[in-house]
Amino acid sequence: MKQHFVTFYSPGTFVAEQTTKKIDSWDVETAISMAKEIKERYNALPYGFQFTTRDRGENDLDSHETESSPFYYLGGKVYTIKELKKIGNPADSILISNMECNKWEKVIVSTNSWKWTQPLKDTDIVLSMEVN
């Protein structure tokens, strides 16, 4: 038995809020449409999503994840350390320090609802759109 899912991530207080829904296939357009219906606490809207596939064999008691997609961001602005330093906003000093310490080349800032910033991995995909 095999089932596909899409997990939507929205800004949370300390960590991202997550909502997982069944989906027929790893279809990005369908996931984008579904994202428009997701609203978390404090009206937080998704900043991104990821597909997974779970499988359960005949003798398995529970399913397990067998595949996962890259992370898809629903728009957002990508920044490098160099760009943030050039902007010179004192509010970015901790972000810049975190980027340097953790060797993050890029971060993405989403403002679909609440401002949410996180490292951008090479495998992540930034879609040119916003949810709201």
Task: Reply yes or no on whether the pLDDT at 131 is more than 60.
Answer: no
Q: Establish if 126 belongs to a structural domain.
A: no
Per the structure, how many domains does the chain have? 2
Where residue 128 falls among pLDDT bands split at 50, 70, 90? confident
Domain assignment present for residue 131? The answer is: no
**Given a cut of 90, is residue 22 above it in pLDDT?**
yes
Nearest to residue 124, comparing CAs of 46, 47, 71? 71
pTM: 0.91
Look-up: residue for tokens 């996931």? 31
Nearest by Cα to 19 from 48, 53, 42: 48
Taking the alpha carbons at both ends of the chain, their separation in whole angstroms is: 36
Which region holds residue 112: left if phi is over 0, alpha if psi is between -120 and 50, else beta? Answer: alpha
Residue 30 lies in a domain: yes
Residue 132 has pLDDT above 90, yes or no: no
Give the domain extent around 87. 77-121
pLDDT band at 61 (very low <50, low <70, confident <90, very high): confident
Residue 70: per-residue pLDDT: 98
